[in-house]
Amino acid sequence: MKKRKYISGEKIFQVIDILFLVMLCIVIILPVFSMVMTSFLTDAEIARRGGFIFIPEKFDFSAYLMLWKSRSNIMRAYGNTLFVVIVGTALNLAVTIGLAYGLSRPYLKGKTAITVFIFITMLFGGGLVPSFLLVKSLGLMNSLWALILPGMVGSWNMFVMRNFFKSIPSSLEEAATIDGANNFQILTQVVLPLSKASIATIGLFYAVGHWNSWFGAMIYINDASKLPMQNILRNIMASANGISDLASEGLESLSAAPPTRAIQSACVIVTMLPILFVYPFIQKYFVKGVMVGSVKG
């Protein structure tokens, strides 16, 4: 008599888990793939085949050629975005690290009151009008610094980094103190080398936040030459006037203007490429950096 083979519950769970993850990947990849394909469409193909076209019959690079011809406007917007991302992230990390390290030390006087004050900012905000009046009173209107200085510290990021610093054994600090190191030397030579995962994770959070931000520039910046790339993209997605403002030089060099959908899709692809290239190199720090910083209270 042959024995029946039974499939264990663990294997069934693994199969279901794999199928779910595959479906989730397809749901995530399809919109991006569709956006890439749309950037190669022509007016004639859109008129003939209708709205949704998964794979174009002929790949037309007019939208990317137009962006290349108008690269002076693109590079200026990229320069503004990179300034905000690089300088903003560096200042965010510097202030967050200093505040988190101070609050992680048990001998800091008044740290409970400071912690409560910072926690309150996670629950309540002043609102748009007070923020606008504050930026205006500081003389930051129509300046890229208005996109950096008001959001210098993220409360949640600070608490995650503080908890990460708490997880570092105090014996290391005591040994460094016996060797004659001061607080700044302990932070830079002992704590920070052990906190690369947390710093990379929080730094990427700040960088992605700056990269995707557009509302602050819309409120505080009036000069079109100082707008970051996300605001240029928003103008393009919102109206055809944004396309003509961005790519007037590129449109003149082409015999026929690309479809609006193709230009919008090409701009989206060009805008998200830098983050897609950076993310794989820092993704490995995510789990370690966030989990270690979140477990210990």
Cα 105 from chain centroid?
30
Note the pLDDT of residue 245. 56
Question: What b/e readout covers 258-282, taking b as 16+ CB neighbours within 10 angstroms?
Answer: bbbbbbbbbbbbbbeebeeeeeeee
CB 220, CB 142: distance < 8 Å: yes
Q: Is residue 41 part of a domain?
A: no
Note the pLDDT of residue 249. 53
Question: How many alpha carbons lie under 13 Å from residue 168 in its C-beta half-sphere?
Answer: 25
Which residues neighbour 138 within 8 Å (Cβ) at sequence distance 6 or greater? 149
**What type of residue is 175?**
A
With a cut of 50, say whether residue 295 has pLDDT above it. Answer: no
Task: With CA atoms as reference, report the closest residue to 236 among 57, 60, 48, 70.
Answer: 70
Note the pLDDT of residue 187. 85
Q: Is residue 226 part of a domain?
A: yes
Note the pLDDT of residue 296. 47
Q: Is residue 17 part of a domain?
A: no
Per-residue pLDDT reduced to its tens digit, 83-134? 999 999 999 999 999 999 888 888 888 888 888 888 888 888 778 888 889 8
**What type of residue is 52?**
F
Integer Cα distance of 124 and 226 in angstroms? 31
**What type of residue is 268?**
V
Note the pLDDT of residue 122. 85
Q: Is residue 106 part of a domain?
A: yes
CB 84, CB 147: distance < 8 Å: yes
Q: Is residue 160 part of a domain?
A: yes
Note the pLDDT of residue 286. 61
With a cut of 70, say whether residue 189 has pLDDT above it. Answer: yes
Note the pLDDT of residue 284. 66
Structure tokens at 64: 């990317």
Per-residue pLDDT reduced to its tens digit, 201-228? 888 889 888 988 888 888 999 888 888 8
Per-chain mean pLDDT for the chain = 80
Q: What CATH number did the domain enclosing 110 receive?
A: 1.10.3720.10
Note the pLDDT of residue 239. 60
Per-residue pLDDT reduced to its tens digit, 229-253? 888 877 776 665 555 555 555 555 5
Residues of the domain holding 283 = 61-295
Structure tokens at 124: 């309540």
Q: Rounded to whole angstroms, what are the CA distances from 21 to 7, 51, 287, 297?
A: 21, 29, 18, 32
Q: Is residue 18 part of a domain?
A: no
Task: With CA atoms as reference, report the closest residue to 251 among 57, 69, 21.
Answer: 69
Q: Is residue 34 part of a domain?
A: no
Note the pLDDT of residue 61. 82
Q: Is residue 180 part of a domain?
A: yes
Note the pLDDT of residue 297. 44
With a cut of 80, say whether residue 39 has pLDDT above it. Answer: yes
Output the DSSP codes for 107-131. T-TTHHHHHHHHHHHHH----HHHH
Query: If you search the block for the tokens 């503004």, which residue do you land on?
Result: 80
Number of structural domains found in the chain? 1
- Average pLDDT value for residue range 68-79: 81
Note the pLDDT of residue 281. 72
With a cut of 60, say whether residue 266 has pLDDT above it. Answer: yes
